[in-house]
Amino acid sequence: MNVRPHQYYPNKQALLYAVLEAHSIKVAEAVGRACRANRGAAVKVLVAAVVEAFIRRACQLPETRTALDILNVERGGL
């Protein structure tokens, strides 16, 4: 992740937002690679590749998922 452990964050919310940003960038990059790799493929193939890339990357680091869940709860999400 791009969140540096030595970087100062003024509060927990700022740290969680930094984690969310870094995570979102990595997920978007994985989806972009899947799109490029399947350019010209049938829609069914492209969609399957994009979904797989999204899920694989989004679930890769369980501690990131936990941090994002905390952020969601703190912001009033389910």
pLDDT in tens, 15-32: 778 888 888 898 899 999
**Residue reference for tokens 């940003």:** 21
Q: How confident is the model at residue 48 (pLDDT cuts 50, 70, 90)?
A: very high
Residue with more model confidence, 34 or 55: 34
Least confident of 30-34, 55-59, 65-69: 65-69
Band (pLDDT 50/70/90 cuts) for residue 2 is low
For the chain, give every domain's residue range: 12-74
Axis-axis angle for helices 12-37, 43-58 (nearest 10): 150
- Per-residue model confidence (pLDDT) at position 32: 97
- 8-state DSSP, 10: S
Q: Which of 31, 27, 11, 28 is nearest to 71 (CA)?
A: 11
